[in-house]
Structure 1
Amino acid sequence: MISYSRGKGNLENWVVSEELFQPDSLGKSEAIMYLGNGYMGLRSAAEEPYMKEVRNLFANGTFNKAGENEVTELPNIADVTRLDIRIDGDRFSLEFGKTKEYIKQLNIKTAELMRSFVWTSPKGKVLQFEFKRFVSLDNLHLIGMKMFVKSLTDPVHISFDTGIDAQMSNSGAQHFLEGERRIFDKKDIQLIQTTRESKIDVVISSTHKVFVNDVESINEPEMNMARRKVWLTYNIKLEPNDRLEVEKLTTVYTSRDNDLDFTEYTTRHLREKSLSDLRNCAIKGYESNFQLHKEAWNNLIWSSYELEINSENPYDLLALRFSLYHLTIMAPAHDDRMGIAAKGLSGEGYKGHSFWDTEIFILPFFTFSNPAVAKSLLTYRYFCLEGARKKARENGFSGAMFPWESAWPPDGEVTPNLGDIDIVTGEPTKIWSGFIEQHISADIAFAIYQYFNVTADQEFMNHYGYEVIFDTANFWVSRLEWNEGKQAYHINNVIGPDEYKEHVNNNAFTNYMVFFNMKLAIRYYETLMKEKPSILKKLITKFDMNKAYSLWKAKVGKIYLPQPRAEDFVIPQDDTYLTLKEIDLTKYKNQKKLRTIYRDYNSEQINAIQVTKQADILLMLYLLNQTFISEAVPLSNAVKEANFYYYERKTLHDSSLSLSTHSILASEIGDTDLAYSLFRKATEVDLGPRMDTSDEGIHAASIGGIWKATVFGFAGVRVVDGKLRINPKLPKQWRHLKFKIHWQGQPITLVLSHTTFSIKVENKKKIEFELNNHIYECDDVLNIDFEYING
């Protein structure tokens, strides 16, 4: 059972709790309460082991291929959290004896995990347990753990094993070679792992301090070693009311780290670095290291973003803080060679790969709130150009055809070929997205365009941005297919965002985004030709662009762009969608679990029904409304409303990406009640009460969408071709919203209610913005009274 109200006082709306131990539903809290810092992610499994647990520790960027028939994935490195505890010689588990006052909770404000309970052993002895854990935001390599045990009634003998366990796998796939293990001074443990194929070294070092009644124990532990495992065994005798306290600190280093301070890499250097850092941390102890971590969260995150909501439903504020917490810990802010995985660093789902989720659903938060991280994530895509060009060549195209799934940049396309079972044939389903879901190339171009408009980061464009946009346009030029009968360029045999429609022709989202991508390339080419010819010359010299500009100009105006039907303004999602069979979708619209339609139909059958997995046409309308090509796109209010209500009825939201887009569009057309309802559903994808939603990890794009639905939906923030527009539509449940964004190099703070709006320009550099169709200028603080009617 998940609780949202245990935070009291200054922790009100900061705490997510689990109030009942359920050994068959461990995945929920393991994932949504996972700890991380972008460098690594630690799934929040219990210290004592259980049958259905999933223990994951990931170090970002350490991708490896487990076998020739596998795709590269983020390997599950050695576990440091497991404690095998014995009470009077019997294995401790909450599945035995009696448990009361159980609570497991994530303090979002301090990014600390805590678990506590009172346990009565099968022999009738009563003990109090408390466990704490953090992954440091101050020292990215550090994990801190603490265990507290108090005997409440009887003398008790406690023994526990603690160490480093490399007997881990990714769902059975072993990624590492057997490595060196060693124990120093009977308290410091070190284990080395090396990935089989990519040859990345991982060095893990742990140290321990044991106290009884606040006095450090002098009892020496037993030292143990086995295959892929090294550990210490402590034996402690407690009298009634005695207190046992154990601190365990761990450092993780890899040969891919970009912060190593030695010029020539050797494994020995990495071992010494890991151990030296560990011993320095050990001098400080758990509490001092945790204090530095807590200060980092306050200074870098909470004080920086300044997000406040006054809602009649306090859960809303908790959900927004939950979103910011996870956006922080999933982002590799330390290294621009790494992207964000679809599950963050919370589980093995999607193998740690990056999708279009980043650019369309996650990146906007960083673009508007932390541009340095946004720049890093887009630089990662630049580094992926090598793999994108390779994929284009292998498919007979030119330019940059970005992989549907990306890992380490040079790896290129890493989408698996086979997926879930086909209920009709009994065979694995073919995964077509790696072959024909191609809109990601245009999605990345859009993200760069949005970033440049918001930040005015010309340096990024000169070094990275223009090249990506030009070479994605080159891909699309080679991808277009001339239809003689229609006298237009078509894009055939694709998958759009709606993955329930495979092998379709002229998916509207794809066609319009291609049109935008090529128009953007033309625009930037002409701008550089006039204003920065030296930059353009370097790009032309760097890769073959001699004929590119003329081809873009010749073909872009002839791309087929599906238009609204005259009778109802509905834009065809593709050439055949509006002619497909219609069925009663009530059963699936009201489903408790996603993708239940696959229990009744296989992919081929779903392809023949008017049913949509996630926002497609609506996402197109939302994105292109922010661009300079909006005049070429049917974006009247009548068209928006017609398409919203038509496709909302057809959309099952079987992808977690979907709800936030529908919420934003509902706000835009003035249906604020529906917008709020969709926002709440988006927050419940991971945070809601269902205990089976997040077993494979959190839904990173949905979590980014929570912020988007707030800022772009309810606050109505848009950057339309470089101009800041604000058109608030707060839901009636919200009385007040405050947040900070960055606009062209400086932070600005926005505060709005149903009747007032204020803006504070932090650096006092004059900005211009549009509020409810009126133009304003501000270089300090501006307060505006206004009235509008919620839809």
Structure 2
Amino acid sequence: MDYASGENELKNWIIAETGFNPDYLGKCEAMMALGNGYLGLRSATEESYVGEVRNLFVAGTFNRFDEYEVTELPNGADITRMDIRINGKRFSLENGKIRKYKRMLNLKTGELTRHIRWVSPRGEELEFVFRRFVSLNNLHCIGMRAEITAMNQDMEVSIESGINGQLTNTGVQHFHEGEKRIFEKKYLQLIQTTTQSKIDFVVNTVHQYRVDGKEVDGEPKMVIDRRKVVLIQDIKLNRGQKLVVEKISNVYTSRDKEYDHGDYSLEVLRKDALFNLKSECKKGYEGLLQESIKKWEEVWEKYSICIDSLQDFDQLAIRFAHYHLVIMTPAHDHRMGIGAKGLSGEGYKGHSFWDTEIYILPFFTYTDPQIARKLLEYRYHTIDGARKKAKENGYEGAMYPWESAWKDDGEVTPVWGAVDIVTGKATKIWSGFIEKHISSDIAFALWQYYMITGDEDFMEKYGYEMLFEIAKFWASCLEWSEEKKEYHINDVIGPDEYKEHVNNNAFTNYMAHWTISKAIDYYHVVKEKKPEVYGRLNVLLGLDEAYRHWISKVDKIYLPQPRQEDLVIPQDDTYLQKEIIDLTEYKNQKHVGSIFRDYNLEQVNNIQVSKQADTLILFYLLENLFTKDIKRANWNYYEPKTLHDSSLSLSIHSILACDLDDLELAYSLFERAARIDLGPNMKSSDHGIHAAALGGIWQGVVCGFGGVRMLNGELRIDPKLPKEWSRLEFPIEWRGNRLHIVVTKDKEKQRLYITRMSNHDNAQAITLEVRGRKYTFKERLMVNL
């Protein structure tokens, strides 16, 4: 991998692969994935190799293979494969000699290119240039272009290309056979329907062949096979001639918002899709690409972060994070969430976790609140499933699924996972049963959104109802301890998933207490100031009775306190009594999860070792509740015992290290977080990129080094640049105002500049806190730090 290929205006915009290795296909397939939030296309090569993973996902199109498996995003038909034959022999980089190879993803334009100079085993020398993009302008459109030049002799080139529906999700076929059709010997169409959810996919593609700019004569051979429709085009290339193949494709589904209604007609869908293809292909690859690039220009203008660093990689890393955050997020539709692997791989089956609310959503809340609102509306649309889960488990209110898919699916966490090295059996996944903190994570995220945006309409339509239902759930979870005269939360998993079936996980208890406390506060708000909202929710939720329960219980919830001897807050009732072992080997591991080569989960459960930040996350989300001494003491205790086996962990630790003024450590952790996907581990991203880690990188820059926080509804900016950085620029949204933040450092002296970009004639002054002092400004503010 090469991260320094970009020059001049493309400096720190290019992710490059400089050598071909068939053993490491997954790295670039995922890292260089293309998408637009509606569809995601994994970047497998045009030619096929053993071990490749070809994925095309459309957001929200979940299907359950059978009653024994959970729902997942189905892998749609492949339109990227091109079987190329040179004088009858298949082109493959595993044969012959590679004289030149470079594959590049341009983050700025969203275009993937691959440049190859290759000599076949028989001596034919060719130059290939492959290009590809997924349009940000037309969400359905995929463009491909291949240039093949005969370098040293005349040759016969044959290209087989079309639509291949023979793919599966690691062996699971989610589609019926489907209908295949070729129109006008040119336009290819495949209709697929999912087996259980009955979603129609319509995939179309068209090719154009030119040699030295002249359209190729001769009709292609048409082939329809099982789940497959292709064209085979034979072309004679003289020495020095260049063949250009353009392939434009599109994908539509019956779940698309404009077709998901009672009057839906497959015939209308397929006609619309084919009409769109015929219209778009007239623009050609370059025309469609330029339309997409214009949309990317708008993206970079809105989200751009500039870092002046001694390490160019830092600038590339935040752009990489921005790129994937854009292409993974279904900004077009509030019925859908973000998968833990985005749309770049089959990992976690496309399901949404707490990753969205705690790690990804802050990016959108602070930079694009309209998208943040849609993501929260998705959680509102799943509230009936959360109510159902609560009822099935004997609780009230809304118990949100640990893993969510389509809005009506409810809990979709698989029950069985990796091997238990002691028993040889599959390990049971308890998260879907007892990892309850996600409900509070959603409550916190909607409150954070409300505080930053002031969006009363959202709260009245969705937010209050969600908050009250989650508070009802927590109140019904509490178990009274007669011995201690307090309420406990028992048999849970906290963020540290290496500790199962624990009582009084500190993170869970504090967040449950916070949720109920906030519900009490907002009960008074709606009752006193929003009578219509109060009346509706009181009828729907039994709000008055729920309030009485909250008031009677909230002050009696057990909140683990710092121990007198060392200020350490017990992660749960038994963590501090568990065995302590030497974790050096696992802290220095090259591959996450190496501890499971020596222990099974039951054994790990009895060791003082953590998968990821747990108690420490409280010091970020609820930081005002704890003193710096308490934060430092718990850092010193828990961080050495944390293996960072979750990609969510490093960014949180980096931010906390900033808060503790250990900027050298904070920067080291930030670098490690940025290299989860971009680093040297060539197998790290095989199942897809790490979506939450990418949101964490943004938070590390803006909330860590940039010092941006919302505390009790007020804005605080307390930047702390690492020694490697001399300047940091980023935008944030605050209560409808676009703010441009610049932090500079010169000889260890730092300055903060804030400019209000959105000017309104009657705009109110903005008040914020910087280094413990309050400042008020209307247009600009400069503070010496």
User: Shorter-chain TM-score: what band?
Assistant: over 0.9
* 1:651 alignment partner, one of 619, 630, 642: 642
Q: Which residue of 2 aligns with 1:478?
A: 476
In structure 1, the partner of 2:707 is 716
Q: Which residue of 2 aligns with 1:789?
A: none
Matched, 1:623 2:621: yes
Aligned ranges for residues 474-513 of structure 1 at < 5 Å?
A: 474-513=472-511
1:100 alignment counterpart: 99
2:457 paired residue number: 459
Match of 1:609 among 596, 607, 610: 607
Deviation of 1:306 (Å): 2.8
Structure 1 residue matching 2:267: 3-state secondary structure: helix
Residue 330 in structure 1 maps to residue 328 in structure 2 = yes
Residue 216 of structure 1 deviates from its aligned partner by 1.3
Structure 1: 5+ residue runs without aligned partners?
787-791
Paired with 1:263 and 1:488, the residues of 2 have a C-alpha distance of 52
CA distance in 2, matches of 1:39, 1:451: 24
d(CA) in 2 for partners of 1:403, 1:186 = 48
Q: 1:263 to 1:219 in 2, by over 3 A?
A: farther
Given candidates 758, 764, 777, the residue that maps to 1:763 is: 758
| 1:65 and 2:93 correspond | no
Query: Is the contact made by 2:361 and 2:445 (CA closer than 8 Å) also made in structure 1?
Result: yes
Shift of 1:582: 0.2
Give me the whole-angstrom Cα distance separating, in 1, the residues matched to 2:304 and 2:93: 40
Offset at residue 122 of structure 1 (A): 0.8
Matched to 1:675, the amino acid is: A
Q: 2:543 aligns with which of 542, 545, 553?
A: 545
- Counterpart Cα distance in 2 of 1:711 and 1:447: 17
| Cα distance between partner residues in 2 of 1:302 and 1:136 | 15
1:729 aligns with 2:720: yes
Q: Which residue of 639, 663, 677 maps to 1:672? A: 663
Query: Over residues 380-434 of structure 1, what are the superposed CA-to-partner deviations in whole Å (9 max), with x where a residue is unaligned?
Result: 0001101000000111111100000000011000000000000000000000000
**Do the aligned partners of 1:97 and 1:121 also contact (CA within 8 Å) in 2?**
yes
AA of the residue aligned to 1:34: A
- Paired residue secondary structure (2:77): coil
Contact 2:386 2:410 survives alignment (8 Å): yes
Q: Give the aligned partner of residue 566 of structure 1.
A: 564
Distance in 2 (alpha carbons) for counterparts of 1:645 and 1:286: 56
* Residues in 2 aligned to 1:44 and 1:726: alpha-carbon distance in whole angstroms: 39
Q: Aligned partner of 1:417: which letter? A: V
Deviation per residue, 1:716-755 (Å, 9 max, x gap): 1100011000111110000000000110112111000122
| Structure 2 partner of 1:772 | 771
**CA drift at 1:263:** 8.0
The 2-side partners of 1:576 and 1:751 are apart by 46
2:581 corresponds in structure 1 to 583
1:748 aligned residue: 739
Which residue does the alignment assign to 2:88? 89
Tell me whether 1:691 sits opposite 2:650 in the alignment: no
Rounded to whole Å, the distance in 1 between the matches of 2:479 and 2:285 is 62
Partner of 1:56: 55
- Paired amino acid for 1:686: D
User: Paired residue for 1:26?
Assistant: 25
Cα deviation, residue 784, structure 1: 2.5
Mapped contact 2:3–2:12 kept (Cα < 8 A):
yes
Q: What CA distance in whole angstroms lies between the structure 2 residues aligned with 1:549 and 1:400?
A: 16
CA–CA distance in 2 between the matches of 1:640 and 1:122? Answer: 64
SS in 1 for 2:349: helix
Whether the 8 Å CA contact 2:507–2:571 is kept in 1: the answer is yes
Deviation at 1:541, TM superposition (A): 1.7
Alignment match, 2:359: 361
Q: Is the 8 A contact 1:717 1:726 kept in 2?
A: yes
Amino acid aligned to 2:85: R
Distance 1:674 1:206 in 2: 51
TM-score, normalised by the number of residues in structure 2: 0.98
Letter in 2 for 1:599: R
Tell me which moved more, 35-44 or 522-531. 522-531
Given residue 255 of structure 2, which amino acid in structure 1 is its aligned partner?
Answer: R
Which amino acid in structure 2 is aligned with residue 172 of structure 1? G
Deviation at 1:260, TM superposition (A): 4.5
CA distance in 2, matches of 1:243, 1:262: 48
- CA distance, structure 1, for counterparts of residue 74 and residue 95 of structure 2: 33
Q: CA separation in 1, counterparts of 2:208 and 2:230?
A: 14
Superposed, 1:284-323 pairs within 5 Å as: 284-299=283-298, 301-323=299-321
For 2:459 and 2:575, how far apart are their aligned partners in 1?
Answer: 38
Using the TM superposition, give the Cα deviation of residue 264 of structure 1 relative to its aligned residue in structure 2, in angstroms.
2.5
Contact 2:708 2:716 in 1 (8 A): yes
Residue 265 of structure 1 aligns with an amino acid whose one-letter code is Y
Corresponding residue of 1:642: 633
> What does residue 267 of structure 2 align with?
268
8 Å Cα contact 2:40/2:56 also seen in 1: yes
Question: Match for 2:378: what amino acid?
Answer: Y
| Mapped partners of 2:450, 2:411: distance in 1 | 27
Point out 4+ residue stretches in structure 1 off by more than 3 angstroms: 259-263
CA contact (8 A) 2:254 2:260 kept: no
Aligned match of 2:129: 130
Alpha-carbon distance in structure 2 between the residues aligned to 1:199 and 1:188: 25
Distance 1:306 1:365 in 2: 12
- Alpha-carbon distance, 1:100 to partner: 1.9
Query: What residue identity is the alignment partner of 1:365?
Result: F
Whole-Å Cα distance in 2 between the matches of residues 518 and 432 of structure 1? Answer: 25
Q: Is the 8 A contact 1:761 1:778 kept in 2?
A: no
**For 1:478 and 1:774, how far apart are their aligned partners in 2?**
42
Q: How far apart are the structure 1 equivalents of 2:362 and 2:690?
A: 16
C-alpha RMSD of matched pairs (Å)? 0.9
- The 1:262–1:196 alpha-carbon spacing in structure 2 relative to 1, beyond 3 Å, is closer
- Between the aligned partners of 1:219 and 1:560, the Cα distance in structure 2 is 79
Matched, 1:165 2:164: yes
* Aligned-partner SS, 2:408: helix
The CA distance in 1 between the partners of 2:428 and 2:304, in whole Å, is 45
Q: Which residue of 443, 446, 451 maps to 1:445?
A: 443
Which residue does the alignment assign to 1:785?
A: 784
Aligned residue identity for 1:736: R
What is the letter of the counterpart of residue 350 of structure 2?
G
Give the whole-Å Cα distance in 1 for the aligned partners of 2:592 and 2:260. Answer: 47
Shift of 1:262: 9.3
1:783 Cα deviation from its structure 2 partner? 2.3
Unaligned runs of 5+ in 2: none
Q: CA separation in 1, counterparts of 2:73 and 2:551?
A: 42
- Give the counterpart letter for 1:438 in structure 2: K
In structure 1, give the amino acid aligned to 2:610: T
Deviation at 1:184, TM superposition (A): 0.9
More moved, 720-729 vs 253-262 = 253-262
Percent sequence identity is 55
Tell me how far apart the structure 2 counterparts of residues 72 and 543 of structure 1 sit (CA, whole Å).
Answer: 30
| Equivalent residue, structure 2, for 1:216 | 215
Matches within 5 A, 1:404-415: 404-415=402-413
Aligned residue runs from structure 1 range 592-607, under 5 A: 592-607=590-605
Q: 1:22-76: per-residue Cα shift (whole Å, max 9, x none)?
A: 1010000000100000000000000000001000000000000011111000000
**1:763 Cα offset (Å):** 2.1
How far apart are the structure 2 equivalents of 1:6 and 1:429? 44
- Hey, what does 2:75 align to over in structure 1? 76
CA distance in 2 between partners of 1:220 and 1:345 (Å): 36
1:262–1:269 CA contact under 8 A, matched in 2: no
Secondary structure, aligned partner of 1:177? coil
What is the CA–CA distance in structure 1 between the aligned matches of 2:336 and 2:6, rounded to whole Å? 35
Deviation digits for residues 104-130 of structure 1 (CA, Å, limit 9, x no counterpart)? 110000001111110001111110001
Partner of 1:225: 224
